[in-house]
Structure 1
Amino acid sequence: MIGKRYLMAGLLLVGSGAAQGACDFRIEVGDTMLYGLDEMVVEKGCETIGVTLEHTGDLPKIAMGHNWVLAKTGDVAAIATDGMAAGLDNDYLKPGDARVIAATEVIGAGETTSIRFSPADLKAGEDYTFFCSFPGHYTVMKGRFIVE
């Protein structure tokens, strides 16, 4: 058993197990700056990719909010910096930012959010990162997003 992920009926859940690809992911976050997993491997054959983010902590989104944002790794710092100025009302993302491939809303204690997006423009071998754009979180709250 390796890592913080496992595959079960096409749904990648938090836990441990063999590295496998999936199309749908469920990620837990809490009152720390950590996702429940640090790597996501998607199958290129997926028609859509689904991400469900669940905040299991006690703090509201204004204090310890989290979202899930996907971008090319080289764009992460600039997206997060621009997002700080955009504020919570914009989920700490600059409106219309073309560098953002996919993103959920910012959530707090007890909330869940989901997103579905097409992998059509994702390329195997490209360097992608998922991260939280809440101010100060992106430097530690991130992971690799791999397209097989």
Structure 2
Amino acid sequence: MTRALTIAAALVGLWALACLVMMLLAHRLPPGLMRQVAEFLPSCVTTARTLRRDPAVPRRAKVALLVAVVWVVSPIDLLPEFLPVIGPLDDVVAVILLLRYAARSIPRERLLDAWPTDPHLLERLLGPQVRRRPGRSLR
């Protein structure tokens, strides 16, 4: 039992180290699309953690953000991570869909304030801001 626990702890440590190295290398990229893509998932996780602590964010948005974070850090995926290009694709698609769902009930300014990197990619993913008519709900 302790051997399995030691192996699991070592694997989690290696995974965390690999994530840290990738984030550090992403900061060395020149500004542009490749840098934004490299920073996308860490930015999503940071944004979700920030917004989950915000009392003004509705509960359903917090649940969607929690599911997005769990989806990213979960070792269980629809597509295995070791497959080139398409491995992380299920993480990115799930996070984008959950972020767009949560963004419908979060004020755009609050969402952009919580985004830790360049907001242009987030604005492109969310699309144009839809103005709701008074008295109409999103249900």
Bigger fraction of residues in helix:
2
Question: The TM-score by the shorter chain falls in which range?
Answer: under 0.3
Taking structure 2 as the reference length, what is the TM-score of the superposition? Answer: 0.28
Bigger fraction of residues in strand:
1
Taking structure 1 as the reference length, what is the TM-score of the superposition? Answer: 0.27
